[in-house]
Amino acid sequence: MIVVRTVADLRTALRESRAGRIGFVATMGALHEGHASLLRAARADSDTVVMSIFVNPTQFDEQADLAAYPRTEEADLALAAAEGVDVVFAPSAGEMYPAGFATTVSVTGPVAETLEGAQRGRAHFDGVATVVTKLLLAVLPDAAYFGAKDAQQVGVLRRLVADLNIPVQLVVCPTSRDDDGLARSSRNARLGADERARALAIPRALQEVADASASGIRDPEVLRGRALDVLAEALIELEYIAIVDPVSFEPVAAVDGQALVAIAARVGRTRLIDNTLLTPGGP
């Protein structure tokens, strides 16, 4: 495994890999089993696996959140090596955003402007879209792997790739969860024992909605009510719970086809997101 810090060195390192399939996993470091599952998926499909480590400052709406984000490069590189990564791209902020940088990639419409876009501000998904565009152009992978937990981010990136004709396959892998059901996140490390126990109400609420939908309930407000009851018992500070079209992220009037249930909430000072896909009549 080699580690490179500049786009020029990355392109040199990958020059001979272009004959085979290149898989790419973008990360902000602080790697956990969720990231490892993406790396394994990329390894199974690819001749060369590239992973990036870059804490992207432009997608943080709270400077305190950016400052608190863990930087664990030594441990991250050890995990990457263990999962068979070939090249790690770990640039500085100056490499990604050099002096005079003046371009922003912006996706518009409900997919970028609702839920996370509304809660965290327009700049959040602009930051995501811009940095992912830069990373894809630097790596030029055949496939890029993302987790389903960040469903709206995936929606934004699908729109981005389609609109800009970027020749990459987006592979969405299932949400990685701990044994207790909590979706894996670098932020989980901030939860105290009591907070973690309360946070488990989030996956329980999603399961309650899924069970209610499977029983034949189609009214989004009734389904939301089921989730709200579960969350209220755990004293979760809810930011939103929405039932939306999984592609457009527009609200659905009835759950007659696939629908995404998305939750964002704070447990103590830790902000968590999670979601589940409803498929009425499906397997």
pLDDT tens across 160-173, in order?
999 999 999 999 99
Going by C-alpha positions, the residue among 109, 137, 115 that lies closest to residue 274 is 115
260 and 151, same domain (yes or no): no
Is the pLDDT assigned to residue 282 strictly greater than 70? Answer: no
In a domain, 281, yes or no: no
pTM given for the model:
0.94
Domain coverage including residue 64: 2-173
> Residues within the annotated binding site for (R)-pantoate?
59, 153
Task: Identify the pLDDT of residue 80.
Answer: 98
Q: How far apart are CA 169 and CA 24, in angstroms?
A: 10
Task: Identify the pLDDT of residue 283.
Answer: 47
Q: Above pLDDT 90, what percent of the chain?
A: 91
259 and 190, same domain (yes or no): yes
Give the count of domains, the chain: 2
The residue with greater pLDDT, 69 or 109, is 109
Tokens matching residue 94: 């100056």
Q: How far apart are CA 49 and CA 54, in angstroms?
A: 17
In a domain, 123, yes or no: yes
User: Could you say which DSSP state residue 173 is in?
Assistant: E
Task: Identify the pLDDT of residue 225.
Answer: 97
Is the pLDDT assigned to residue 27 strictly greater than 50? Answer: yes
259 and 234, same domain (yes or no): yes
138 and 268, same domain (yes or no): no
Catalytic residue among 35, 120, 159, 198: 35
Strands 2-4 and 87-89: parallel
> Residues within the annotated binding site?
28-35, 59, 147-150, 153, 184-187
Is the pLDDT assigned to residue 13 strictly greater than 50? Answer: yes
Going by C-alpha positions, the residue among 158, 183, 180, 178 that lies closest to residue 169 is 158
215 and 265, same domain (yes or no): yes
209 and 103, same domain (yes or no): no
Domain boundary among 150, 173, 196: 173
Residue 35 annotated as catalytic: yes
The average confidence (pLDDT) of the chain is 95
pLDDT tens across 48-91, in order?
999 999 999 999 877 877 887 878 999 999 999 999 999 999 99
103 and 162, same domain (yes or no): yes
In a domain, 280, yes or no: no
Task: Identify the pLDDT of residue 101.
Answer: 97
117 and 139, same domain (yes or no): yes
Q: How far apart are CA 223 and CA 205, in angstroms?
A: 10
127 and 191, same domain (yes or no): no
The model's confidence at residue 281, banded by pLDDT at 50, 70 and 90, is low
Is the pLDDT assigned to residue 144 strictly greater than 80? Answer: yes
140 and 164, same domain (yes or no): yes
Residues paired with residue 183 on neighbouring β-strands, in sequence order: 177
**How far, in whole angstroms, is CA 250 from its chain's centroid?**
19
Q: Mean pLDDT, to the nearest integer, of 97-123?
A: 96
pLDDT tens across 181-228, in order?
999 998 898 899 999 999 999 999 999 999 999 999 999 999 999 999
Question: Is 87 exposed, middle or buried, given 0-12, 13-18 or 19+ CB atoms closer than 10 A?
Answer: buried
